[in-house]
Amino acid sequence: MLNSMVEISAWIRSIRDNGRIAFIDIQDGSFAEALQVVAESSELPRDCHNGAAVLVRGTLVKSPARGQNVELKAEQIFLLGNCPQENYPLQKKQHSLDFLRSIPHLRIRTNTFLAVARIRSFLAQAIHRFFEREQYYHIHTPIITSSDTEGTGELFSVHHKKGTSFFGTPSYLTVSGQLAAETHALALGKVYTFGPTFRAENSNTNRHLSEFWMIEAEAAFLDIGGLIELSTSMLYYVLYELYKECIEDIRLLSTLHTPELIEQIEHLLTTSYVRISYTEAIDVLKSAKRNFTFSPQWGMDIQTEHEKFLCEIHYKAPVVIYDYPRAEKAFYMRVNDDQKTVAAMDIILPYFGEIVGGSQREERYDVLLCSMKEQGINPSHYTSYLDLRRFGSVIHAGFGLGFERLVQCATGMRNIRDVIPFPRAPGLIPD
């Protein structure tokens, strides 16, 4: 490419013109760094402003300037699309993320959101590569459904525009594809989903969305140990690939928003995941000689302060906690021999919190029926699910990963609304 004639179409990111020579940074979205165009000022067409689209014909040459390898010596510049500065919401100055959230169709043109979008895309594609390599089949579980997986979620309901019943039964937006994924795991062996899920919770925080994407993996003949192996190797794989391939974008976000980002990702890639049972975790917390707001005792939820202590102070590593008290967990999780715990697992990352949750599923018909009754769940709403335990039932396990949480972890963006193109949340008007 060097010293060859090229034609590049792109948008202007900034322009400095001393009346004799103009330096124009252009970007077409494909790289973290802009390309510097050097042109004679007299060559500049009218209306060459920040945000305008141009076609530059010229020669790629080795750059004398520091911090860039090549620059484009322009012979001709054509204006493709004007960008009237007086109305353009993106000025050259740094805008607040808050302001940018109000213009999702334009914020994607900023360095921050371009970097986040590239990382998000890379992670999504890496997840597909990982599961393809592990010979998992990709399945699409339904979005419109009549069931509420855990019986606890706040649901969005779906109606025909004219208010008539369309499916002949109340229908909702899915909160999880797990139950459907289980049906396929018990035939295809190993499956995963990657699709949107919904929560109508009225929680207006920087950690919740009404619409978010989730990866759910489910495999037959897999126990809780295998599940921990699978989910930790997936995390390791996608973060390692990202670190290898997208370091410029990570660096950019590190500079703009989260100085500690690179170090945190490197820490995750060089530290083994600690595996402890819930009971061990409580013991560690009890002997910690710390003033926790919630005093640790067996049976309680592990709180954020406890997670932070375990990951950041005690182990200084990502921590997998498994075998949780049965009373706190969903009906479908497999009851352990002690009858007190279930084969559930969570992955907690330092400086981040929970990222993966999963469990071995209860494959024994009688035990499952019993857990349903204990939790006040009507088995007649789950006949398909119970069928899986009546006909050729085998042990199986699966996990869920909130995709936006992974993107947050990889980008260091603190507000979840900044890692999805068009966030949906209570009161946020969809465009």
Residues 358-377 that bind a second copy (CB under 8 A): 363
State the minimum distance, in angstroms, from the CB of residue 270 to a second copy: 27
Helix (H) / strand (E) containing 332: none
Site for a second copy in 82-141 (CB under 8 A): 82-84, 87-88, 104-106, 108-109, 113-114, 117-118, 120-121, 124-125, 128, 132, 135, 137-141
What are the two backbone dihedrals, phi and then psi, of residue 6, each rounded to the nearest 5 degrees?
A: -135, 160
13 vs 314, which CB is nearer to a second copy?
Answer: 13
154 vs 280, which CB is nearer to a second copy?
Answer: 154
245 vs 301, which CB is nearer to a second copy?
Answer: 245
Sheet (strand 137-138) strand order: 137-138, 190-198, 211-220, 396-402, 353-361, 341-349, 319-325, 274-277
State the minimum distance, in angstroms, from the CB of residue 162 to a second copy: 9
Q: 392 in the Ramachandran plot: left (φ > 0), alpha (ψ -120 to 50) or beta?
A: left
Helix (H) / strand (E) containing 69: none
281 vs 410, which CB is nearer to a second copy?
Answer: 410
Site for a second copy in 181-200 (CB under 8 A): 183-184, 186-190, 195-196, 198, 200
Q: Is residue 159 near a second copy by the rule CB under 8 A?
A: yes
Helix (H) / strand (E) containing 288: none
Q: Is residue 6 near a second copy by the rule CB under 8 A?
A: no
Q: Is residue 78 near a second copy by the rule CB under 8 A?
A: no
314 vs 396, which CB is nearer to a second copy?
Answer: 396
Q: Which of 24, 173, 285, 321 binds a second copy (CB under 8 A)?
A: 173
Rounded distance, CA 260 to CA 242, Å? Answer: 17
Helix (H) / strand (E) containing 47: none
Q: How many residues sit close enough to a second copy to count as binding (CB under 8 A)?
A: 97
Rounded distance, CA 27 to CA 10, Å? Answer: 5
196 vs 357, which CB is nearer to a second copy?
Answer: 196
Of 246-254, 280-288, 323-331, 419-427, the segment contacting a second copy by CB under 8 A is 419-427
Number of residues that make up the chain? 431
Q: Is residue 427 near a second copy by the rule CB under 8 A?
A: yes
Of 213-221, 280-288, 300-308, 370-378, the segment contacting a second copy by CB under 8 A is 213-221
Smallest CA-to-CA distance from 344 within 373, 378, 371 is with 371
Rounded distance, CA 213 to CA 124, Å? Answer: 10
What Rg value do the Cα atoms of the chain yield, rounded? 26
Q: Is residue 325 near a second copy by the rule CB under 8 A?
A: no
Smallest CA-to-CA distance from 402 within 363, 332, 352, 360 is with 352
Owner of token pair 């996608």: 238
